[in-house]
Amino acid sequence: MSESRVIPPLRIAVLGDFEGIHTRRWLEVFVERGHEVHAISYYWPRVHLPGVHVHSLKPPPGDAGAEGFWTERPDSSPPSTRKSAFSQLKSRVKGLVPPNIQRHLNAMRYRRAGLKRVLDEIQPDIFHAHYAVEHGFYGSKAGFHPYVVSAWGSDLLVESHSLLGRSIAKRALHAADLVTGNDPSLVKRAIELGVPQERTAVVHLGIDRVFLEAGEQSVNLQAPTSEERIVISTRAHEPIYNLDVLLRAFAIARAKAPTAKLIVAGTVLQHGKLQQIAQELNLGEAVQFVGHQSAARLAELLAAAHVYVSVPSSDSLALSNLEAMAAGAFPIVSGLLSVEGWIAHGTTGLRVEPGSVAELANAFVTAVSDDSLREAAVAPNRAKVEAEGLRETNMLLMERHYYRLAGHPMAAQGEAI
């Protein structure tokens, strides 16, 4: 990513979940590009946002330190470190409220806490909310323009299909001057919900170049030195990603591929449950749970893996898939619309029916047994990611959309003016 300042720099306000890695990476790009970036959050984020002006609608716990800026609301004071009985009761009640009802309540909370007032104070050139049915919906209540809403996957592919979820999604999307989706399936769904095509755009966040660099040493490009074949999963340990299906399929596959080993990386929300399943399947040392990894270490693990697997029930274009492709791991993925044009079944990867243990087991056996198949997929997968999947180029496209919406048509034509 170029570190030269963009002229003219923009003042960008972002509403989202800043503890999510994708939103933080989005912020990092535009800080690097020299823009003035503001993050608006209901509660003070528990992570540092270097170079970002943070605005907490509720009182922050104190100075964010030297790594970033912070802006305290006029009426703020440090919150108690102990939960009151009333707060504990509120948390229990919240768990009983259906998600879409909770989103309406949250929208009122954001409005009452002063979201519009904060935007009036910042006076951004662009207001951008991430995840349509939550922050996109909350941001729509402020009535600020130009307004951008980004859809990320389940917000439109899953949540927008219920009656109330569809109403929330339409309210968020129709308030936006631009709706972006991480892949064409999200843009298609936005258009189905009534957004004019000219107000939509496919914008991939993209991945760090470190994965391409690691892929130069992909194990699939090396002469085999042992019979061992490494399979890796890097998806979050959440039900939608079907890691239980992965474990059961892997156990079946090992009957025909006994030298296969499985590495399970990713956040550990279901860690105990997955470990229990692995024990019940007698996988023993054939499976290793390694938890969350830094980008650099994850790139090394992917380059050392022969096969990568990701079989969610629903998903947009997953950055995890692009990371694996860039690092040279052979992908086995769910046959979803989001992988169309990225992974061709039988050549650059294998696509399986989500939830099918038998189909996934067969794909495991095929992938770990065929060295030539895996080797042949490395070059086209890496070339595809380098051409279309890098953050450093994809975010330039987003920047041009920002400039156009902010009324800088000359800057919208290129990297800078």
Tens-place pLDDT, residues 16-69: 999 888 899 899 999 999 999 999 999 988 888 999 999 999 865 554 443 345
Q: Is the dihedral of CA 86, 41, 104, 117 positive or negative?
A: positive
Q: What is the pLDDT of residue 280?
A: 92
Phi, then psi, of 232 in degrees rounded to 5? -130, 140
Domains along the chain with CATH numbers: 11-80+98-206+390-413 (3.40.50.2000), 210-388 (3.40.50.2000)
Q: What is the pLDDT of residue 225?
A: 84
| The pairing of beta strand 126-130 with beta strand 69-71 | unpaired
**Amino acid sitting at position 212:** L
Q: What are the b/e assignments for 168-182, b being 16+ CB within 10 Å?
A: bbbbbbbbbebbbbb
Name residues of the chain where pLDDT drops below 50.
1-6, 63-68, 70-90, 93, 416-417
Q: What is the pLDDT of residue 273?
A: 86
What gap in Å lies between CA 302 and CA 29, rounded to an integer?
A: 24
pTM assigned to the model: 0.78
The pair of structure tokens assigned to 206 is 């993209």
- Classified as helix, coil or strand, 87 is helix
Q: What is the pLDDT of residue 65?
A: 42
pLDDT tens figures, 321-361: 999 999 999 999 999 888 989 999 999 999 999 999 999 99
What gap in Å lies between CA 277 and CA 371, rounded to an integer?
A: 29
Q: What is the pLDDT of residue 238?
A: 87
Q: What is the pLDDT of residue 3?
A: 46
Cα separations in angstroms, 137 against 43, 57, 178, 335, 353: 17, 16, 14, 30, 32
Instruction: Evaluate whether 271 touches 289 at the Cβ level (below 8 Å).
Output: yes
Bridge partners (DSSP) of residue 56 are: 41
Q: What is the pLDDT of residue 6?
A: 46
Could you give the count of Cα atoms lying within 13 Å of 299 in the half-sphere of its Cβ? Answer: 15
The pair of structure tokens assigned to 171 is 């309210």
**Amino acid sitting at position 105:** L
